[in-house]
Amino acid sequence: MNNSILLLKTLLLSTSQRNIFRYCKDKKKRRKIIGGFIGAGLLYLMLMAFCVLMCIGYGMTGIIEAVPVMCALTISALAFMFTLFKTNGYLFNFREYDMLMSLPFEPRTVAAGKFMYMYVKSLPWYLSISLAMLIGYGAYAHPGVLVYPEWVILSLFIPVIPMLISAFLGFLTARISAGFRKTNIIQTVITMAFVIFCFSLRFIIEDLFRNDKVQSTLEKSMELSGSAADMYLPAGWFSDAVIRQNAAAGLLLIGVSCVLFAVVFAVVGSSYMKINSALRSHAASGKYRMSAQKKRSVVSAVAFKEYKRMTGSSAYMVNGMMGEILAVLLGILTLLIGFERIVGAVTQNAPFDYAILQPAIPFIIYFFIGMVATTACSPSLEGRNYWIIQSLPIEKKDLYKGKMLFNMYLAVPAMAFATLCMCISAGVPLLDSILYLILGFSLCAFSTAWGCVCGIKHMRLDWENEIEVIKQSPAVAIYMLPNMFVVMGLTVLVVFLGIRTDHRLLAAAFILITTVLAVLSYVRVMKLSRRG
C-alpha cells in the first residue's frame, strides 16, 4: 500500500495543473490553466445547484429521509460509469506502462496505484454531489452535529465499491479480448447507449412536469430507493450510518471497501502484465493472409490512419461519432413517427404551420453533426509521437488535409441520410431538399475546418491520458460551446426569416455564407500548417 501511495503521489505531481501553474513561466499556459480551473468550478457549482434543488423537492414533499440513499445511489452510479469509461485508458494500455513496469514494484502495486489515481481525479465530482445533498438534507432534517463529519467521511468510501466492480468488469473484458483486434466494441456500445439515454432523459423530465406527475414520481422514487438500498447494500449501510447513527453500518462500508480493494487487485495483478502486453502488441490473428497492399495518396493514408486511431479507442469513437449516430437516429425516428408529430411533441402542439420549420432542417441536423469535430482533438492525439510526424517526408498541410478528410467521411453521409429522412417526412419539395443537402455539406465543411483551426491553435501534446484531449481539452471546448450556441441562434433566425422570405432564397444565402466561412477557416488551417 505504501508503494501504491508513492506511485499515486508521483502521478498526481506529474499531472497536476496546479503544480504546472506554480512553476511554469509561460503566461499563455498559465492563462489556460486559470481558465480550466474557472470552467471546472462552474461545472461543480452547477452540479451542486442541481443536487440542492433535488433535495428541496424531497424536503417540500416530506420525504427528506430518502436523500442519504439517493446520495449513495447517485454517487455509486456515477462512479460505476466514470470507471467503465476510463478503465481502458487508466488501468490498461496506458502510455507510461513501460516506465512504471520497469520500477521495482509488483504488477498489482502498479495497478492499485493507477486505480487510486483514477479515484482521486474523479473525487471532486463525487464530493460535489455529496456536499450539496448534505446541505439540502441538513436544511430540512436538522440532524445532529456528528452527522456532518460522518457523512463527509463515509462519502469518501461510497464510490470505492462501484469503482472496483466496474474496474473488475473492465479487467474481465480486457482479459477475454486481449489479443483480438476489436477490443473496444463492448465498452463503446455501452457508452453510446448511456449517452443516448441521457439525451432522452430530458424529454422524460419534461413529460413529468407537463403532466403534473412530480408528486407521484417523488413518492415512487422513495419506494424505489428503499428497494434499491435493500438490493445494493452499501447504499443501505450509508443511510443507516447517517440516519440511525449505526456505527456498525459505517464500519461495514469502510471495511468491505478495503477488503474488496485488496481482493480485486490481488486477482488483477496475476494477469496485469499479460493483458497490457497483449493490448499493446495487438497480437495478429492466426488466419492472417498476405495480400497486395493498397496504394493511397498521402491525404487518404492520413485519413485511413485516423480511422484506425478512432476504432482503437472507445473514448475517441464515442466522442467523435455520437453526433452522427444521434442524427441518424433522429432521421429514422422522423420517418417512422412523422415530422409533424415530433415537432408537436417538442412545441407541445402549439397551433402554427409546421412548414415554416422546413428551412431549419439543415441546422437541426448540424446541431448533432457539428457537436464535436474530430479535427478539434486529432492534432493533440499525436501526443509525444508528434516528433515522428515531424521527421516524416509529409507536409503539414497534407497531414491536416487528411484529418479534415476523415471528418468529412464521418459527417457527410450521416448528414445526407438524416436530411433526406426529414425532408421526405416533412414533404419538402425536391429543389429545396437539394439546397438543404448542399447547405448541410457546407456546414460540415465549416465544422471540419473550424475544428482543425481550434485543434492546431490549442494543440496539447503533453497529455497523460487521451481523455484529457478528447473530452477536456481547450480546443474541444472552444470549438464546441460557441458552435452550439450559434447554431441554436441560427435555427431561431432561419425560422423567423422563413416566414417572410422564400425558402430557396434563404437556403442559397446561407449556403453562400457558410461556404465563405468554410473557405476562410480552411485558408487559416493552411497558414497555421506553414508555421511549423
**DSSP character string of 158-186:** TTHHHHHHHHHHHHHHHHHHTT-S--SHH
CA distance 421 to 402: 29
100 and 237 inside one domain = yes
With CA atoms as reference, report the closest residue to 82 among 108, 53, 120: 120
Please report the pLDDT score of residue 97 as a whole number: 65
345 and 197 inside one domain = no
Q: Categorise residue 26: left if φ over 0, alpha if ψ from -120 to 50, beta otherwise.
A: beta
In a domain, 290, yes or no: no
268 and 302 inside one domain = no
- Contact between residue 34 and residue 22 where contact means Cβ atoms under 8 Å apart: no
In a domain, 26, yes or no: yes
254 and 309 inside one domain = no
262 and 349 inside one domain = no
Please report the pLDDT score of residue 523 as a whole number: 93
In a domain, 53, yes or no: yes
In a domain, 286, yes or no: no
In a domain, 288, yes or no: no
113 and 44 inside one domain = yes
Backbone angles phi, psi at 157, to 5 degrees: -100, -15
Please report the pLDDT score of residue 131 as a whole number: 92
Final residue in a domain of this structure, among 222, 256, 281: 281
277 and 306 inside one domain = no
Handedness of CA 234, 236, 237, 238 (dihedral sign): positive
122 and 179 inside one domain = yes
Exposure class string for 194-219: b at 16+ Cβ within 10 A, else e: eeeeeeeeeeeeeeeeeeeeeeebbe
CB atoms within 10 A of CB 502: 12
Final residue in a domain of this structure, among 281, 316, 343: 281
Tens-of-pLDDT digits for all 532 residues of the chain?
Answer: 577 778 778 777 777 777 777 777 777 778 877 877 887 788 788 888 888 888 887 788 777 888 888 888 889 888 887 787 676 666 665 666 666 766 777 777 777 888 888 888 888 889 999 999 999 888 888 888 888 999 999 999 999 998 888 888 777 766 655 544 444 555 555 555 555 555 554 454 445 444 444 445 445 555 555 555 567 788 888 888 888 888 888 899 899 998 988 888 887 777 666 666 655 554 444 454 555 556 667 888 888 888 888 877 767 777 788 888 888 988 888 888 888 887 776 665 656 566 778 888 899 899 888 888 889 888 888 776 676 666 667 788 888 899 999 999 999 999 999 999 999 988 888 998 999 999 999 999 999 999 999 888 888 777 766 777 777 677 887 888 777 778 878 888 887 887 877 888 888 999 999 999 999 999 999 998 876 5
Exposure class string for 19-46: b at 16+ Cβ within 10 A, else e: ebbeeeeeeeeeebbeebeeeeeeebee
Crossing angle of helices 2-15/107-141, nearest 10°?
Answer: 80
Handedness of CA 232, 125, 113, 383 (dihedral sign): positive
- Contact between residue 414 and residue 370 where contact means Cβ atoms under 8 Å apart: no
Please report the pLDDT score of residue 241 as a whole number: 87
In a domain, 46, yes or no: yes
In a domain, 267, yes or no: yes
- Per the structure, the count of domains in the chain is 2
Please report the pLDDT score of residue 237 as a whole number: 87
351 and 320 inside one domain = yes
218 and 349 inside one domain = no
184 and 319 inside one domain = no
Dmax (CA) for the chain in angstroms is: 75
Final residue in a domain of this structure, among 281, 308, 337: 281
Please report the pLDDT score of residue 503 as a whole number: 84
pTM of the model: 0.62
In a domain, 292, yes or no: no
398 and 268 inside one domain = no
CA distance 161 to 234: 8
C-alpha torsion angle, residues 459, 465, 470, 471 (rounded to 10): -110
Q: Within its chain, how far is the Cα of 162 from the centroid?
A: 19
- Contact between residue 515 and residue 444 where contact means Cβ atoms under 8 Å apart: no
Task: List CB contacts of 349: < 8 A, sequence separation 6 or more.
Answer: none
Domain that holds residue 361: 298-529
